[in-house]
Chain A
């Protein structure tokens, strides 16, 4: 870990009391994000603030795999008192706090899996807690809302700083002043100009997070948690040798959660069908159609973008020689209403 962090935090050791713990003595946090938003780093800083700063015992780790930037990732943190042995290496399945860095994740990932009726779900969103309760399908618990993306955009900093600020507010056993000291020192050396914006972003996260608690309706119970390591294919249904006998089936996936705020907008009228966008697109998003042109020749025409696969890299906008493609902040429902779907040559199931 950062030497700086140790130095700053050395003086701050004191005995802290965790607000609640599970049967093994842990207060557990799970961060749900997509690669690239800095959840891993935020989790690391949060854990270090607890272990090094507040003198607790703890463990932290992230999910690892072939995931790249833009794919769903999780970070896990456990805190306990100094004499509680840490033996568990399994992922946090029953979190006391969940931090959701990217609201759209809820579309494809059960971000609230395993929460207790008294757990807190912090979510980066512009929606009201009432709407979010609906979106997340939350029966009970505390919903904490922070518009981290807007704050980050405004303060020219990162989403994770705003989320970290809000997390500190939720984990009131941690001292935000220590964290701010760390931010100041660790950024100060390399990027002194970024210190103030990081601190402001952190503070705004801390101050602007809004909470609302929902009681569990009488007679209802929280959903049972489902272990995250059960595969849908089994030894009777997996083709032998790990061979995939379903060519090209990745088109069934929805990658729209990989976008972190921006997307390309297409204006057909200005398009000259030069295919520059198609040439540079890494995600095969452009949809073409063959038609007869004015001279009676068969020609290819760009029909639009299949946003299901667009990760929002905006390379196409750089490549576009006209104004047909432009970048814009993604608003709710835009992609769905403007998408032009690819047509796949499907096997019709009998």
Chain B
């Protein structure tokens, strides 16, 4: 809402201060003032910042919310659900794919009546992948049974977050509440914002403690059974209760908003009307663009056009009566939906508005439906003028020429249509014959011969230059060495992550052979499907005329983050034994979303969700040992590698290919530098990963048919160095060398030594 500062200060009854903050900052700010008990979260743009800001504030001792980094949104939603059954206050924030992944949990949260507050920082739903703001994720929320509050700017993000909790916990509601704001437009734009100056006033408004007398799984004297199995005569009654609670939420919101308005001078009716008193034509938009349209209304009013705009502050329950009343005398309205309900002859909002008009007996207002702003396409004032023109045209013609259409799409010039530029790679040059793999007839183990690296420069690189990775990125050097060891044709699948987004920015691709990207967590499942289709079509003789000379080698590329959220599917694929390779580039964090901690981030390392401050010194848990987890699936080959030891990695790749073609799934992990987020010099990447090996933090080894072999032992060569030699090379770890962090450093050293000792024991004893 536009703030009249003079007026506001005059009418506010609570002491406020002004901040200059973005929507995400304000969501975090409200959460820290409320001091929720628990937040289970997982990084996804553009909502990730909310957890980051809370982590920074926590490191500085500004709140004590338990922040739980989950292994995917399904888990974050599960953590939140569990926490909300246990009587405390729960908070979360997500976007798009994250919301889709947790969708299953949403109706359970509402159907079992567990209040919590979740911010949806609205963003386009895949595919194709797009991280920008539209309402396609929000529209999936419409049927989840959560009341939904809408935020047009950072101010309302703050205000709605305070009101949301009070609404959720109200005795007549008892539902989880969603607070929806626009990704980037609101989440990342800084504005002048008013906030309660004193936390005590916030606590007073929301209630210092959550109300008691409701489900509490920690109340030992009153045991409850949550999530029972319910039969057909009962479910409809449960649903009716929920429906009543939802409509109650509308009335309760109005009460809360009234109280809030009296305190702060900021008023939130269910539907905000702008210059609608005598409007002939109107435009309906939601959130950020509903602000832009007000400028257009002002401009049209100056020209004598009776224009007005409406936008809802709440869409569940849908403010049917209020909208019908606002449009009673309007001759035509253009409704912009920032997401389509494909095939529904309009987005969800336009159809609900039409239903509202019909229900209230309005058959005269003409309604024009347009889908706009998809995938974050900007909405300019110029677009607003065009929307009003559609309404004016309908009034003039007394009919709606085109009731439903898209707006802002373009046909594209034929001469700019994509023309393929590269020929397919020459098979002979990919099958160099320079690398030989032989199986020993007695031991069954493989022996590999590789030529000098110089000779391998002859082999075409699988990736075209021109990808958009940061200078000094270790992913592509690491992957390229691995692929040098692979002979013949490949099909690759990349998990969502830096390697994927930097090589596939539409309409460019750096992949010279076929590449697939599906979702962040299920690459292993997806590639399993491709592999099995390959074998089945091959068996049926359907590939014979496709120019294939030898079987493909199927390679899945993932980051360490993808191996967190995708751990289940990876283990599943390993246990099923598909003939494919999973190669993980481990850069110790979710770097694509801005360096959040993964489980592979080592103890004490700094990320944006393991901040450094008075009360926290980086990550609090030890790093995940993914190679050992995968080895425990008893697949025939597991390895680790590094670009600092290229011959070792090329040999392992060759073995990996043999096992993936003859046995089943192979897993390998390479440690790759991320200069940006490791806070190190671009040129130092190779040296830093080399030190990670020399310190035995990242030992080079393989587990072949269950037998562990250390392929490079720095102790044998007298090259082992202390962890501090590695840690001092990176900005993200230098604090660990300070005297006050000595206990953490010791703990990290002990863990590295323990894992190294165990590895050596395995190396020495084939039965281990």
A14 contacts B by Cβ under 8 Å: no
**Inter-subunit contact B426/A282 (CB<8 Å):** no
Which residues 226-246 in A have Cβ within 8 Å of B in the complex?
A: 227-239, 241-242, 244-246
**Inter-subunit contact B409/A235 (CB<8 Å):** yes
**Inter-subunit contact B421/A279 (CB<8 Å):** no
**Inter-subunit contact A88/B292 (CB<8 Å):** yes
Binds B, one of A150-158, A163-171, A305-313: A305-313
CA distance A342 to B687 in the complex (A): 28
**Inter-subunit contact A275/B466 (CB<8 Å):** no
Min C-beta distance of A56 to chain B, whole Å = 9
A249 contacts B by Cβ under 8 Å: yes
**Inter-subunit contact B188/A279 (CB<8 Å):** no
CA distance A274 to B45 in the complex (A): 42
A335 contacts B by Cβ under 8 Å: no
Question: Which A residues touch B463, using CB under 8 A?
Answer: 248, 284
Min C-beta distance of A304 to chain B, whole Å = 13
CA distance A60 to B189 in the complex (A): 6
Question: Which A residues touch B3, using CB under 8 A?
Answer: 85
Known: A229-B377, A244-B506. Contact between A65 and B466, CB under 8 A? no
A314 contacts B by Cβ under 8 Å: yes
Q: Residue on A with the closest CB to B681?
A: A314
Known: A68-B498, A246-B418, A300-B458. Contact between A280 and B685, CB under 8 A? yes
A217 contacts B by Cβ under 8 Å: no
**Inter-subunit contact A345/B422 (CB<8 Å):** yes
Binds A, one of B170-178, B449-457, B549-557, B658-666: B449-457
**Inter-subunit contact B412/A313 (CB<8 Å):** no
Which residues 433-484 in B have Cβ within 8 Å of A in the complex?
A: 452-458, 461, 463-477, 480-481
A340 contacts B by Cβ under 8 Å: no
B682 contacts A by Cβ under 8 Å: yes
Question: Which A residues touch B413, using CB under 8 A?
Answer: 232, 234, 237
Min C-beta distance of B734 to chain A, whole Å = 12
B631-655 vs A, CB cutoff 8 Å, 1 = contact: the mask equals: 0000000000001001000000000
Q: Give the contacting residue for B421; candidates A64, A233, A312, A346; CB below 8 A.
A: A346
Known: A249-B422, A282-B473, A284-B464. Contact between A231 and B685, CB under 8 A? no
Known: A59-B191, A64-B46, A91-B378. Contact between A284 and B461, CB under 8 A? yes
Q: Residue on B with the closest CB to A68?
A: B470
Q: Residue on A with the closest CB to B498?
A: A68
Known: A68-B470, A275-B453, A311-B471. Contact between A249 and B685, CB under 8 A? no
CA distance A232 to B513 in the complex (A): 25
Q: Residue on A with the closest CB to B127?
A: A242
B510 contacts A by Cβ under 8 Å: yes
A324-350 vs B, CB cutoff 8 Å, 1 = contact: the mask equals: 000000000000000000101111010
CA distance A69 to B682 in the complex (A): 11
Q: Residue on A with the closest CB to B45?
A: A64
- Interface of B (DSSP majority class): loop
**Inter-subunit contact A314/B511 (CB<8 Å):** no
CA distance A231 to B419 in the complex (A): 16
B410 contacts A by Cβ under 8 Å: yes
A70 contacts B by Cβ under 8 Å: yes
B544 contacts A by Cβ under 8 Å: no
CA distance A169 to B474 in the complex (A): 40
Question: Which A residues touch B676, using CB under 8 A?
Answer: 36, 68-69
Question: Which A residues touch B191, using CB under 8 A?
Answer: 59, 86
Question: Which A residues touch B682, using CB under 8 A?
Answer: 312-315
**Inter-subunit contact B46/A90 (CB<8 Å):** no
Min C-beta distance of B28 to chain A, whole Å = 12
A52 contacts B by Cβ under 8 Å: yes
Question: Which A residues touch B292, using CB under 8 A?
Answer: 87-90
Which residues 64-99 in A have Cβ within 8 Å of B in the complex?
A: 64-71, 82-83, 85-91, 93
**Inter-subunit contact B453/A234 (CB<8 Å):** no
Question: Which B residues touch A285, using CB under 8 A?
Answer: 465
CA distance A47 to B190 in the complex (A): 9
CA distance A1 to B56 in the complex (A): 12
Question: Which A residues touch B412, using CB under 8 A?
Answer: 231-238
**Inter-subunit contact B465/A283 (CB<8 Å):** yes
Q: Give the contacting residue for A349; candidates B419, B468, B685; CB below 8 A.
A: B419
CA distance A85 to B377 in the complex (A): 23
Min C-beta distance of A95 to chain B, whole Å = 15
What size tier do the contact residues of chain B reach? 35 or more
Interface size on A, residues (CB 8 A): 98
A160-202 vs B, CB cutoff 8 Å, 1 = contact: the mask equals: 0000000000000000000000000000000000000000000
Min C-beta distance of A194 to chain B, whole Å = 14
**Inter-subunit contact B506/A89 (CB<8 Å):** no
Of listed B6, B186, B191, B475, residue having the most chain A CB within 10 A:
B191
Which residues 50-67 in A have Cβ within 8 Å of B in the complex?
A: 51-52, 57-62, 64-67
Number of A-B contacts (CB under 8 A): 303
**Inter-subunit contact A313/B471 (CB<8 Å):** yes
CA distance A6 to B643 in the complex (A): 47
**Inter-subunit contact B683/A315 (CB<8 Å):** yes
Known: A61-B188, A68-B470, A315-B686. Contact between A284 and B465, CB under 8 A? yes
**Inter-subunit contact A315/B378 (CB<8 Å):** no
**Inter-subunit contact B420/A347 (CB<8 Å):** yes
B140 contacts A by Cβ under 8 Å: no
Question: Which A residues touch B4, using CB under 8 A?
Answer: 83
CA distance A347 to B508 in the complex (A): 17
Question: Which B residues touch A292, using CB under 8 A?
Answer: none
Known: A232-B413, A244-B504, A279-B477. Contact between A318 and B465, CB under 8 A? no
**Inter-subunit contact B418/A252 (CB<8 Å):** no
**Inter-subunit contact B420/A87 (CB<8 Å):** no
Question: Which B residues touch A260, using CB under 8 A?
Answer: 471
Known: A91-B378, A252-B508, A284-B464. Contact between A64 and B131, CB under 8 A? yes
A281 contacts B by Cβ under 8 Å: yes
**Inter-subunit contact A87/B291 (CB<8 Å):** yes
A253 contacts B by Cβ under 8 Å: yes
**Inter-subunit contact A315/B685 (CB<8 Å):** yes
Min C-beta distance of A44 to chain B, whole Å = 7
Which residues 20-58 in A have Cβ within 8 Å of B in the complex?
A: 24, 35-36, 44, 47-48, 51-52, 57-58
Known: A86-B191, A317-B683. Contact between A282 and B472, CB under 8 A? yes
B21 contacts A by Cβ under 8 Å: yes
**Inter-subunit contact B466/A279 (CB<8 Å):** no
CA distance A235 to B131 in the complex (A): 20
**Inter-subunit contact B477/A233 (CB<8 Å):** no
Q: Give the contacting residue for B416; candidates A82, A232, A284, A317; CB below 8 A.
A: A232
Question: Which B residues touch A233, using CB under 8 A?
Answer: 412, 416-418, 507
Q: Give the contacting residue for B422; candidates A241, A247, A281; CB below 8 A.
A: A247
Min C-beta distance of A313 to chain B, whole Å = 4
**Inter-subunit contact A344/B472 (CB<8 Å):** no
CA distance A249 to B191 in the complex (A): 40
Known: A246-B507, A314-B682, A346-B423. Contact between A89 and B288, CB under 8 A? yes
A147 contacts B by Cβ under 8 Å: no
Known: A89-B292, A242-B127, A317-B683. Contact between A251 and B470, CB under 8 A? no
Binding site for B on A (CB under 8 A): 1, 6, 24, 35-36, 44, 47-48, 51-52, 57-62, 64-71, 82-83, 85-91, 93, 227-239, 241-242, 244-253, 255, 258-260, 273-276, 278-286, 288, 290, 299-300, 302, 306, 308-309, 311-315, 317-319, 342, 344-347, 349
Other A-B pairs, 6, CB within 8 Å; known A67-B468, A284-B476, A344-B422:
A70-B470, A83-B4, A90-B379, A237-B413, A276-B453, A318-B686
A selection of 11 A-B contacts at a CB cut-off of 8 Å is: A231-B412, A235-B411, A241-B128, A246-B419, A274-B453, A276-B453, A282-B476, A285-B465, A299-B454, A311-B471, A317-B683
6 smallest beta-carbon distances between A and B, as pairs: A234-B412, A250-B466, A242-B128, A85-B2, A313-B472, A237-B412
Binding site for A on B (CB under 8 A): 2-6, 19-22, 25, 45-46, 127-128, 131-132, 182, 184-186, 188-192, 288-289, 291-292, 294-295, 377-381, 408-414, 416-426, 452-458, 461, 463-477, 480-481, 498, 501-514, 592, 643, 646, 675-676, 682-687
